[in-house]
Amino acid sequence: MAIFSQSKMKKLMILGGVCALLMSGNALNSFATTTTEQDSSYETEITNPTRSSEWVFKVKDGYVYKRLYNPSTGQWIGDWILVGPL
């Protein structure tokens, strides 16, 4: 008995691969991940202290979105971009 369907598992594996690729930019840098709960969605912040901007991901209603954030100025860069369904 499978917990996830094959298509759901494939999507989860692709999302995991994308996250691993983003986080493996430089093995010497440390990354911090924070999760906050908001209206049945969550946001994950991937930080790299050597960069001036970072991608913030959120899942809302079964879809993944991303947006650039500049932690040094505390400002968002652009709008939320739809990555795809989870």
Domain segments of the chain as ranges: 30-86
Q: So what's the pLDDT on residue 4?
A: 54
Q: So what's the pLDDT on residue 66?
A: 96
Q: How do residues 23-76 score in pLDDT, each as one tens digit?
A: 655 443 444 444 444 455 666 666 665 568 899 999 999 999 999 999 988 999
Nearest one of 64, 5, 6, 57 to 35, comparing CA atoms? 57
Q: For residue 84, is pLDDT > 80?
A: yes
Please compute, for residue 70, the number of CA atoms within 13 A of its CA located in the half-sphere on the CB side: 9
**Predicted model pTM:** 0.43
Say how far apart CA 76 and CA 46 lie, in whole Å: 14
